[in-house]
Structure 1
Amino acid sequence: MKSLDSHIETVLWTPDQITSRVSDLATEISADLSHLTDPPVLVGVATGAFLFLADLARHIRLPVAVDFIRAESYGSGTESNGCPKVSSDLKLDVNGRHVVLVEDIVDTGSTVSRLIEYLESKGASSVSVATFLDKPSRRKVQFELLGNGKFYRGFECPDHFVVGYGMDFAELYRNLPYVGVLKPEHYKCQSP
């Protein structure tokens, strides 16, 4: 079996760059939310955001609650189907709480928009979005943050299919410690 590294065309962000940027985001979030009386709820969008959420939570210098939600819009393809569905709900009650929705990547905006609406329907008082990667060149849906929410972005991502640091293709490559561009021959044939 070949190393996963051999499937990567280009490394975009190294582990050191990722660690530094996540730490900076956590410092910003800590400062922005220090006025809250109740701990904010970090809601990770499973499964892609699990590493980013873990690292972000470890660096935030405030009490936080953590939960996950699952929204599916990719399946085993490389592009969103544009119709995300919540397939696994929250366990925590977010009514009256500030939620930080933690995403691996904001692409078309469909999933984030849908999840903000969903959290609003659950009574969240405000929603911020912390995304590891942002692909504004692919945005199709503009989303409105709820209440006094803020948009936190790790890196602006070029329009390539990327994997690593929690992001996958067909549930593989999540364990790469960096973010890289997957060679097209590994996703066009639908088999890594």
Structure 2
Amino acid sequence: MNQKISLRTAATAAMVAAASLSMMACTATKPDTQAAPRADSTSLDTRVNAALERLYQTAPGSRDQVRRAKGVLVFPSVIGGSFIVGVEHGRGVLRVQGRDRGQYSTTAASVGWQAGGQSRAVIYVFNTQEALDKFLASDGWSAGVDATVAVGRVGASGSVDTNTAETPVTGYVLNNLGLEAGISLQGSKITRIRD
């Protein structure tokens, strides 16, 4: 019995290693944006600005929503992939009233049979002061646990759907093709990076 368990463990480890290698070769983002997790603050700010501009172009009305928001947390490149167990990781910046309030990391895990890897921008818009205060007071915030995150959608008019724009926290996910629909941000863990 122990030998069966050892063989199963070894096979699983081999599959995870093979998946990791294959994920390095698969991405949905341009090569120049892949360095997100370990970038200096200047290049991170540049990529945050670029991610916001892409959001504004993709979802008309989002610029006004971000302008009215109490804070916006932008992860310009969340890199992940999965084979059996998937992991995503990225580094981002929280902006309050247009000023950087700190850097954060995000991590999410999923279980499923999805070979490949990808990179996407994830943007959280804190529409209420209460939602932002709760986020700032946390020592590790989880989407869906500490706050419900409504995934931002574009309505029939081509503008941001007003229902999701009025929730305490709205999340947007962008890939190279535009706004991703039907995606859940629940379970994403966000932690402040302490210098």
Structure (1 or 2) with the greater helix fraction: 2
Q: What TM-score, normalized to structure 2? A: 0.29
Task: Return the structure number with greater strand share.
Answer: 2
